[in-house]
Structure 1
Amino acid sequence: MPPFHRQPEWQQPADRHTQLVDPVLTVRQLSRFDFNLRSLVRIDHALVFSTPKGSFEAYPPPRRPTRAEVVANRYTAVYEVDMGVHRWTAELTLPSDNDAFEFTAEVDLSWQVLDPARFVASGHRDVPGLLLGELQQAARPVTRRFAIADSAVTERELLQAVTVLGPLGAPAGLQVTWTLRLRRDQANIEHQQRLQAIDHSAAEQVRVAQRGMEVDVEADRRQRQQDALQVERAMVYGTQQQELLLQQQRWQHEQALLHSGQQHQLALQHGQQQLELQQIEAQKIDFYQWHLQQGGVHSWALHLAQHPEDSQLVMTSMREDQLRMIQAQMDLVKQLLSGDAAENYELEGPKQLALRTVSDILNQRLPGVPQSPPPLPGGTGPAYPGVVVDAAGQVEAGRTDAGRGDAPP
């Protein structure tokens, strides 16, 4: 079959991914002898033929008319219609009760030619414009009743009004699904965002203040608890310190008492020792006084008893003393015998003493020294104060007249 020799009256390059506004892709005038549809029409497109009477007959895919049908029905033109599903997104500006503010509606459309003959007969060539016009026609009276701040209520009322209106695009043979979102204008949104930011900041500050107060209360409670613990520890420590101080004072008092007792005992011992030393000194004084009263021989005997290494010196000194004493006594006897200054009765005693002295010298005894020590009364008793002599005239070692066990010094 020969192909078409005439150019189409209307043709738009479109494929599956083209966003269409008009689903009619091609419009051709038909003659009786140039007809070849099989090679020019896509399998998913519908063909709508116009008749001489002005009606339209559709052949949806994959149905196609034969040459005999075309000739018999005397079709004058053919429309190639896309029956695919197409999506469209648009924004509408809808008025509010105040002309200074407008709602913004976002519409998502999904449309498809359901009746190609009706769509071609309707004469519409802008499907999104058709659908958005119907939406605006139904929405504007609704949004006019609400303030710009009542976007949620306005959207609910708008959806209800459009639903009552009926399916969009139904008179044009279209099947449409749509979604509408209504919001305030951008200035009002920014204003609300600023107010919300202020509210959020205020709420945050209030929350910070409240939580800060709670933190302060908790910190104060914890500080009070710590103070109470510190006071308790301080009281316990003070009690321990006081007990320790009292214990130390008791110890010091006991030490002072012990020390004072020891000092008192030492003082008593020292006093007793001093008393004993005084007694010993008194005994020494009596002892030496008695020996000194016995004459020079006893003195020298005492010295030899204490210092036996001085025996040579003692003997020499005693000899010299004896010679001087004998010489002095001889001179005294001579003076008494030859003197005439006194009467005879006055010289009787001294003469006898002089004669006895001469007799002692001749008997080779020291003058004034007895031949034997004078007897003690009763044959016993001390030879000198502080010394005990037994019945045989011997000195008892380690005994005194006071019954003491101390030896004479």
Structure 2
Amino acid sequence: MSDPRRHPDWAQPADRHTQLIDPVITVQQLARFEVFRKLQTRIDHALVFATSKGGYVAFLPPQRPGSTRGYTAVYEVDTGVHHFRSEIELPSDNDAFQFVVVVEISWQVTDPARFVESRHRDVPRLLLGELEQAARPVARRYSIARSADAEGELLRALPAAGPLGRTCGLQTTWTVRLRRDQENIDHQLRMQAIHHGTDEQILTEQLGMRYDAQLDQRARQQDELTTERALAYGDRQHELVLRQQQWEHRQRLELSRQQAELQRVEAEKIAFYQWHLEQGGVHAWALHLAQHPEDSALVMRTMREDQLQMIRDQMSLVSQVLGDGGAERHELQGPKQLALRAMNDILNQRLPGVPHDPAPPYPDRLPAPPARPPVPTAPYGPAPTFAQWEPPPGYGTAPVQPPASPEPAPEPADEPADAPPAQPQPLDPAGDGRPQP
């Protein structure tokens, strides 16, 4: 309420959002013979006028009095809804422990005249006092540990005691939440932490046992897999070793067979060369020329020199035998026959010592070579060497057909002992073996 001519006796700086304790905003005294004036107040505030007889007349918004005659004072009262929150303590069945009650109250002045008449200036304290007075006997019946039961009983008992602030013209709504004191809460928190820790340890042990069982099962499976893998690897290794041994055995058998074959070939070569070398002379040179055709000139020259030397030796021998008078006639029959045969060969253009029908280089009457020695079947037995095999008697020595004997020449007449020996005709230098005329 605003009056430009006078200041109110009491006023509090409150607006719509101020937390109020006393809903009376201003109080102003009115003069008895004061000329009527229009009062300026807020539209949501009520005006309570005090009469000279001690009564109170309330004008709720938007009503206003037409005159202030007969009133001694005016109270401007806030009729809005206000809220506050507070905590109070209520005793339990044991004085050592108290419940802590959290109270939330909404209040509003519905009868301004009755509130002004009640002379209360602290609404929260008024309501909390009535609440404590009604709730204290209820909380006394419960222990500190039964806070939930005590809270439920309070919510049932307080409405039965009547609305709070009704005698003062107030309309209230409220709610309470009861809990233990802080020490008991801390104790319960510690106990809860202990229980939680114990439960965690028990659960950890249980899950640890399951985890260990799973690890053991996994380790067993890994051991089984490792064993199976090792067995499979061992089987493959054993199979590989067997294959390697079989391969080595085949290699040894093949090597033994090759060695036996080489020994057989060497034996055949030895027999072949032995036969040709035993024939001597032309056969030996023919063998050399077959293996080394580039030495044909050397072979021919050497053979020619050998033949010439042999003819000279034979002629010299014949001359000595026929010209020597120291031997008897019957002793000279054989040498004379040989000398005549050599002369016949020379005249027939054959080399002395060469048969008329020479044997073939590979005679059919050569004995068959011996059978190949059996190859040992043992995988590691030593292969037999050819030195252990002895050729049969007569192997490689084929009989050579002697040259056909010429017709026996008529025995010449006895020559005088002093007759000079026949001189051999010189050979043709051309090397064809024919005597020169």
Common fold: TM-score over 0.5? yes
Structure 1 residue 246: deviation in Å? 2.5
Is 1:238 the equivalent of 2:248?
Answer: no
Structure 1 residue 54: deviation in Å? 2.9
Deviations along 1:147-166, one digit per CA (max 9) or x if unpaired, are 22322222112222212212
Q: 1:256 aligns with which of 252, 262, 267?
A: 252
Structure 1 residue 266: deviation in Å? 4.3
Contact 1:4 1:36 in 2 (8 A): no
Is 1:118 the equivalent of 2:114?
Answer: yes
Contact 2:318 2:339 in 1 (8 A): no
Match of 1:147 in 2: 143
Q: Secondary structure at the match of 2:225?
A: helix
Is 1:211 the equivalent of 2:207?
Answer: yes
**Within 1, Cα distance between the matches of 2:42 and 2:106?**
22
Q: 1:223 aligns with which of 201, 219, 242?
A: 219
Match of 2:32 in 1: 32
Q: Provide structure 2 residue ranges, at least 5 long, that are not aligned to the other structure.
A: 285-299, 343-351, 368-397, 402-437
Q: Secondary structure at the match of 2:340?
A: coil
**Within 1, Cα distance between the matches of 2:212 and 2:36?**
92
Structure 1 residue 28: deviation in Å? 3.1
Change (3 A) 1:167 1:370: same
Structure 1 residue 368: deviation in Å? 6.9
Q: Secondary structure at the match of 1:46?
A: strand
Match of 1:296 in 2: none
Structure 1 residue 400: deviation in Å? 8.7
Match of 2:65 in 1: 65
Match of 1:45 in 2: 45
Contact 2:276 2:361 in 1 (8 A): no
How many aligned positions are there? 347
Q: 1:129 aligns with which of 121, 125, 130?
A: 125
Match of 1:338 in 2: none
AA of the residue aligned to 1:79 = Y
AA of the residue aligned to 1:226 = Q
AA of the residue aligned to 2:219 = Q
Q: 1:371 aligns with which of 334, 340, 359?
A: 340
**Within 2, Cα distance between the matches of 1:62 and 1:128?**
27
Is 1:87 the equivalent of 2:49?
Answer: no
Q: 1:195 aligns with which of 186, 191, 195?
A: 191
Match of 1:21 in 2: 21
Match of 2:95 in 1: 99
Contact 1:47 1:58 in 2 (8 A): yes
Deviations along 1:87-139, one digit per CA (max 9) or x if unpaired, are 21211122222222222222122111011111122221111010000111112
**Within 1, Cα distance between the matches of 2:35 and 2:221?**
104
Contact 2:80 2:108 in 1 (8 A): yes
**Within 2, Cα distance between the matches of 1:399 and 1:23?**
158
Q: Which has the higher contact order (CA 8 A, sep 6+)?
A: 2
After superposing the two structures, state which structure 1 stretch, 75-84 or 305-314, moved more: 305-314
Contact 1:399 1:407 in 2 (8 A): no
Deviations along 1:268-310, one digit per CA (max 9) or x if unpaired, are 555565566666677769x99xxxxxxxxxxxxxxx9983223
Q: Provide structure 1 residue ranges, at least 5 long, that are not aligned to the other structure.
A: 289-303, 334-349, 361-365, 374-382
Give % identity: 47
Match of 1:340 in 2: none
TM-score (norm 1): 0.70
AA of the residue aligned to 1:190 = D
Contact 2:52 2:71 in 1 (8 A): yes
**Within 2, Cα distance between the matches of 1:215 and 1:166?**
63
AA of the residue aligned to 2:129 = G
Change (3 A) 1:50 1:5: same
Change (3 A) 1:207 1:38: farther
AA of the residue aligned to 1:403 = R
Match of 2:433 in 1: none
Q: Secondary structure at the match of 1:252?
A: helix
**Within 1, Cα distance between the matches of 2:364 and 2:59?**
174
More helix per residue: 1 or 2? 1
Contact 2:48 2:75 in 1 (8 A): yes
After superposing the two structures, state which structure 1 stretch, 47-56 or 315-324, moved more: 315-324
Structure 1 residue 47: deviation in Å? 1.6
Contact 2:56 2:113 in 1 (8 A): yes
**Within 1, Cα distance between the matches of 2:317 and 2:260?**
54
Match of 1:398 in 2: 360
Q: Secondary structure at the match of 2:93?
A: coil
TM-score (norm 2): 0.66
What CA RMSD, in Å, does the superposition of the two structures yield over aligned residues? 4.1
Match of 1:345 in 2: none
**Within 2, Cα distance between the matches of 1:279 and 1:5?**
173
